[in-house]
Structure 1
Amino acid sequence: MNGRPGFGIVAGVALLAMAGAALPQSEPSAPAPWLSGVSLEKLEATRLHPLFSPSRQPPVPDEPVVVAAPVVASVSEASTSAPEVKLVGIISIGGNHQALLQDPASGQIHRLKSGDRLQNWVVSIVDNRTVKLEQDGRRQDYRMFAPSQ
């Protein structure tokens, strides 16, 4: 053909060589995560000012619950009258309820859930405004915003 018998073969081999060079030899590795080189120390400002917290303050850890050792009292020492407390609030988080009962004499706030005991009275949270204390068949109800409290 045209006096150049090997030209077509040489051109074909050259095209195959260029096409092979253009193809990647191996799969490229996945890109590294964009924060892979950042240390936790450099992210301290992010932890101290969380983006999705309205106050941009770190969450306050729950107060540790101090469990007092049970006190064994004789029948004569047991309190026969209901505790002198005021219901100041009920906290409801994810189906868990805690009553905030304040001792007016000391101002101390007791944070209790249903089944806890206060002065040997069993606590039951009735609804979002009422708590009852029971002992030996006796019952005392405490309501928030009640005129007598």
Structure 2
Amino acid sequence: MRVGQLLLTGVLLASAGGMVYSLQTLIESGVQPMEERIASARSGDPQPLQPVLPAAELFAPLPLAEFIEITARPLFSPSRRPPPPEIADATPEAPAANPAAAPETNQFMVIGIVIAPDEKVALLKQLRKNNEIVHVKEGETLSEWTVAQISPESVTMQQQGVTDVVKLSDNVLSDAEKRVLAQRAKQEELNAARREQQADRVENNAEQNATHQRRFAGQSPQLKRPVRRIRN
């Protein structure tokens, strides 16, 4: 941009110089002074006027070499040298890091929720995996999503700071899905009842063992009777 401005300034100055030079030549060679015209008119012997130069000769453009010299030695540069060419930075810019894409929500559908005394289980349909139905518990991971909370109305899934609350009311079940849900819910209830019964048995066995140990510890050891010898 700076080189272009200097070049334009030089061209304008050269044109102005050419015009001044042409006018000066016209005055010196082709135009008579006003006093000579008046004296000639009074004497009655008018002097013939010299022909005026044509406009093409008055405003003839300067040769190209003049502009090259002006460009090579700028008038407004202290050093009378053209500015050095600008060198573009060859260092490539580092590409901006693409932020990690946020995980897509709406990947699951709540089929059913079972709230047992000792655990909470939810039946989820994976919409991105051929509608596969799986049962999950709190804290488990499914397709990189963590089951954060299971409530009677919804299941809360979390991944990379994104929370997706899947509500049971958002699901419209078909008859077949309702039958599958009922069977799985019944099976979960049976499993929970069996675990509870097994825990009761273990607790009862522990109490019985403790009672036997207390009874055994309270009994006194039997004394050995001496054996009598028969003398002949």
Fold-level similarity (TM above 0.5) = no
Larger radius of gyration, structure 1 or 2? 2
TM-score, normalization by structure 2: 0.28
Using structure 1 for the length normalisation, give the TM-score.
Answer: 0.42
